[in-house]
Chains A and B, each alone.
Chain A
Amino acid sequence: MKKYTLKKPADGLHIVHPQRFQIDYKNELNKAQYETVTSVNGPHLIIAGAGTGKTRTIVYRVAYLVELGVKPEHILMLTFTRKAAQEMLRRASILLDHRCERVSGGTFHSFANSILRKYSNLIGYERNFTILDQGDAEDVMSLIRTRLKLDTRERRFPRKETLYGLYSRSVNTMTSLNQMLSIDYPHYLEDEPDIRKVHELYTEYKITHNTMDYDDLLLNFNKLLKQNEPVRAESSNHFKYIMVDEYQDTNKLQAEMIKLLAFKHQNIMVVGDDSQAIYAFRGATIRNILDFPEEFPSCKTIKLEENYRSTQAILNVANEILKRAID
């Protein structure tokens, strides 16, 4: 017998008539904010100047997506601190309803951590791996340095802080050890083989002792997604709408993370202000936000410039400070 197959209702968006929205988006937002909030599919770059209602705009966009019928679990909000994510979702819940609490939110590190706990065996870790903070990582460097008897030789060998700094920066800026030594520590260039040895043993230590440092969380996340097509597809299918706050302060590994996550749908909205990029010393790169339109060629850029915080007299000084920056 021939059969008709009834299609499942699409998982995507319902068509909701604007008049049936609970929130009057158009009236409660300015033009640029409204445009941001109602931009749904595809890559978007939002340049949000200081005090321009960035958080409010993000909160409204979460509500808008949920009102459109996007499942809250399918929205991922990555922020600089967990507090920021919690605050935004709390505000979205007040604005719309409790559905917004189910949105996935957190920092890049905690998000990576949650995925890694699930699939740790795929990259050679047990589920209960512990995380080394900077001080711990430096202690491990010191341990290895002593074990290799590099601390007792005549010529000076880099301190544990330097060893870890070099390691971490080379990982999260994806720069070679040789290049970093040439720029910052030319006097240690001839020690490159020994430093490399320390770094190798450090990597080994972490695996044998079931620990990861901060960078590993991101690095292993990317490794996991790159090496495992099913995990990558599952993750990308799950997190259908990705938002990133403070994009100007992300590092290379984080930019790679969102590219991997968005590969199925490209529904990625990054929000930030290149003029407020102040974390280069922690490995952040302003290039992420500056090059976003090139990384995602179909990207649409929206600027929020109306400030609700400061007097014009204060803004004049701020604008003037920026104006003198190099072009």
Chain B
Amino acid sequence: MSARHKYLKTLFTNKSEGNLPQLIIAENENLQSKFVVQKILELREEGIPLEEISVLFRSSFLSFDLEIELAKSNIPFRKFGGFKFIETAHVKDMIAYLRVLENPRDVVAWNRILLIIDGVGPRSAEKIIEDILHRRADKANFWKDYNRYPQSVRELFELLKSISTDKLPPAEKASRIITYYHPMMKKKFDDHTKRKKDLEMFEQIAERYKDVGSFLTDLVLEPPNESIADIEPVGSDDEYLTLSTIHSAKGLEWHSVFIVYALDGRFPTMYAANNVEELEEERRLMYVACTRAKEYLFITYPINIYDRESGTILTKPSRFLEGLNEKLLEPWVVDEEG
């Protein structure tokens, strides 16, 4: 008996038939973006709040042009599925300080926080770490005589020693680390003002915890989804549109859904097209994307997209949609006025 490939199922509903989903072709990427913007404004006019609308895409970079157009039209949006809060360099730095407090044998974390210090290179970092591992093996003597280290490293040890006591709540530890770290961050990143907000958020999240251990574990296992987004007070008045990768849209639903770049070579990706299993996974992604919509579904694709890797020009709609009966998926084309 051969192995099962899928469970047969046919979804049905008692809801009304509804409007036909549309497949919209645009001459180029920018026209696709402009179409989405215009349609969103129309939906807004109809009384559908931005919260009830989302734009979904196969890969994070496929929304860059649209993001610019949205900004031009002052449509507020949030993007999900790109870089995660926890993966940003400055947040990783913060975590590293707490990690050496929790587990002084954590060499990777030591290496990270030593290299932040001006004048400490890989070689001196390694020496210090070796010293830490050998001479400071037990916790009781851990903070003793670090005076022979260079001044800048001594400062790090002073900070760590001052917050090593279990009596200090994690948020207070985080706050002191931020004070210590901030001047270095200013030198390290051009966009440090923006990053400062993340550190404030970091401190805010720490407030929920009683001990550093569980705080760290949660940060790694249950990372906040994205900078800022997760602490926004619930029910805030700010209305915003959702941009999301399909992966991050899993389990969610919106009144109106746009799927952009449903272009063969982008969705499915060029790469997946060579492998049956990957291709089937892409098909399921398209299925997941479509089933996020409650009332309106707009699937768009730009043509004349040059694909550098293959040296070809992409012009066809996603193979998962091509040839679909026009009575199921209505074909439209974007045209410019005048």
Contacts and interface: CB of A to CB of B under 8 A. Distances in A.
Nearest to A315: B11
A303 B7 CA distance: 9
Residue of B5, B6, B10 most packed against chain A (CB within 10 A): B6
Contacts of A276: 250, 284, 287-288
B221 A51 contact: no
Contacts of B280: 325-326
B173 to A, nearest CB: 15
A311 B295 contact: yes
B253 interface: yes
A191 interface: no
B321 interface: yes
B6 A290 contact: yes
Interface residues of B, number: 66
B151 interface: no
A27 interface: no
B12 A318 contact: no
A303 B10 CA distance: 10
Given A303-B9, A310-B294, A314-B291, A136 B18 contact: no
B234 interface: no
B284 A275 contact: yes
A47 B16 contact: no
Contacts of B105: 208-211
Given A131-B217, A209-B105, A313-B18, A278 B285 contact: yes
A213 B325 CA distance: 48
A110 B55 CA distance: 31
B283 A325 contact: yes
A210 to B, nearest CB: 5
A47 B9 contact: yes
A114 to B, nearest CB: 9
Contact of A310 (B13, B247, B281): B13
A280 B280 CA distance: 11
B287 A275 contact: yes
Contacts of A113: 217, 221
Most central of A129, A210, A312, A313 by chain B CB within 10 Å: A313
B328 interface: yes
Contacts of A291: 3-4
Interface string A68-89: 0000000000001111100000
B50 interface: no
B62 interface: no
B256 to A, nearest CB: 11
Interface stretch (B68-76, B106-114, B153-161): B106-114
A321 B12 contact: no
B3 to A, nearest CB: 7
Interface of A: 47, 49-52, 80-84, 107, 109-110, 113, 128-133, 135-136, 139-140, 143, 205, 208-211, 274-280, 287, 290-291, 301, 303, 305-322, 324-327
A278 B250 contact: yes
A317 B290 contact: yes
A26 B6 CA distance: 30
Interface of B: 3-7, 9-21, 86-87, 92, 99, 102-103, 105-109, 111-112, 213, 216-218, 220-222, 246-247, 250-251, 253, 276-278, 280-281, 283-288, 290-291, 293-295, 297, 320-321, 324-325, 328-329
Contact of B5 (A208, A310, A326): A326
Contact of B321 (A49, A82, A307, A321): A321
16 contacts: A113-B221, A128-B103, A131-B217, A211-B105, A275-B284, A275-B287, A278-B246, A278-B247, A312-B13, A316-B328, A317-B324, A317-B329, A321-B286, A321-B321, A324-B320, A325-B6
Given A128-B102, A321-B283, A139 B108 contact: yes
B11 A307 contact: yes
Nearest to B4: A290
Residue from B221, B283, B290 with most neighbouring chain A CB atoms (10 Å): B221
Nearest to B299: A317
A327 B5 contact: yes
A84 B251 CA distance: 10
A289 to B, nearest CB: 8
Given A51-B291, A209-B105, A326-B276, A314 B297 contact: yes
B21 A314 contact: yes
B284 A110 contact: no
Given A109-B221, A291-B3, A52 B102 contact: no
Closest 4 CB pairs between A and B?
A: A311-B18, A50-B291, A130-B103, A313-B18
Contacts of B20: 313
Contact of B213 (A128, A132, A208, A301): A128
Identify the interface centre among B102, B111, B281, B291: most chain A CB within 10 Å of its CB: B291
Contacts of B9: 47, 49, 275, 303, 305
B6 A312 contact: no
